[in-house]
Amino acid sequence: MTLINFTKMQGLGNDFIILDYEEYKKTNKTPSELAQKLCKRNFSIGADGLIIVNPNTEKTDIGWIFYNSDGSVAQMCGNGMRCFAKYVYSKGFINKKEFSVETKAGTIIPKILDDGKVRVNMSKPVLEPSKIPVNVENNLNFDLKTDDNVFKANAVSMGNPHCIIITDGDTKKLALKYGGEIETNKLFPEKTNVEFIKIISRNEINLDVWERGCAITLACGTGACASVVAAILNNLCDNKVKVNLPGGSLFIEWNGSKNNTDFDVFMSGDAEFSFTGQVEV
């Protein structure tokens, strides 16, 4: 057995284990194997995902390796990115408050704000069905059939696929009941994250999420971004929106519209250290 050092962080209750690259290299396990072992609640540290700091990048200041708790690869994770940004800055891997990070979704640029929150440029939303990917002709308001229901769904990618359903119903109950079924729906060849959202006003929404590879979580940063984009494209929200999730609130800005979607999405929110420790692997 090998003893490695880890840090636990959370963003709105969405929690992550962070390993320095040197700690990861001490193990003889793949990132997928480590994620499944370390993220298992009640039997190990427990988390929604595993983040490994990757200092070996050429075109960006730093990079990350990210895996969901079930061992699957995640192209992006908004809450994880805020935690990662705060970690590498506080640990001295990066000596500037705004920097570039290499991810499987492309280059992401976080910024540490003076109040301790982290603002992340999440890049542009992907709305072309084949690139999300989703097997429909139009990514907005398409019919999504489940065993006992038909929803009007919207598909958006923020580096990872999202299915957003706007409802007047109980978003938590709907996410619990339908999240798993929709995640694996045949319309989504790479599976999907699932968001049920309720519009409170043109500047505020409520959201419950079923995350691909994680099931129900307390928050999802990319899901908040994708949901705001979908709400704006449906002309239900303005360009700055407070998103209320079970773990807290995020603030999303997108200056796009149905006529011009060529704008980056910005997400702002908390990221907190939980604890550090050692674990045998």
Query: In the structure, what pLDDT confidence band is assigned to residue 259 with cuts at 50, 70 and 90?
Result: very high
Query: In the structure, what pLDDT confidence band is assigned to residue 224 with cuts at 50, 70 and 90?
Result: very high
Contact 206, 228 (CB under 8 A): no
Query: In the structure, what pLDDT confidence band is assigned to residue 123 with cuts at 50, 70 and 90?
Result: very high
Identical fold at 3-121+271-280 and 129-263?
yes
Strands (E), 113-234: 118-121, 142-145, 150-157, 161-166, 193-201, 204-211, 215-217
Per-residue DSSP letters for 203-265? TEEEEEEEETTTEEES--HHHHHHHHHHHHHTT-S-SEEEEEETTEEEEEEE---SS-----E
Residues 214 and 105: their CA atoms lie apart, in Å, by: 19
Digit-coded pLDDT (tens) for 167-176: 999 999 999 9
Q: Is the pLDDT of residue 253 over 90?
A: yes
CA distances (Å), 7 to each of 49, 50, 51, 107, 149, in order? 12, 10, 10, 24, 42
Q: Is the pLDDT of residue 74 over 90?
A: no
Q: Is the pLDDT of residue 1 over 90?
A: no
Please report the pLDDT score of residue 270 as a whole number: 96
Mean pLDDT, residues 78-85: 97
Question: Is 77 marked active-site?
Answer: yes
Please report the pLDDT score of residue 41 as a whole number: 96
Q: Mean pLDDT score of the chain, rounded to an integer?
A: 97
Architecture of domain 129-263: Roll (3.10)
Of the residues 77, 83, 163, 237, only one is catalytic, namely 77
Please report the pLDDT score of residue 9 as a whole number: 98
Mean pLDDT, residues 99-107: 96
Domain ranges within the chain, ordered by starting residue: 3-121+271-280, 129-263
Residues 227 and 257: their CA atoms lie apart, in Å, by: 14
Of the residues 39, 83, 214, 220, only one is catalytic, namely 220
The β-bridge relationship of strands 248-254 and 240-245 is antiparallel
CA distances (Å), 151 to each of 141, 160, 178, in order? 9, 21, 10
High-pLDDT (> 90) share of the chain, %? 99
Q: Is the pLDDT of residue 206 over 90?
A: yes
Question: Is 220 marked active-site?
Answer: yes
Architecture of domain 3-121+271-280: Roll (3.10)
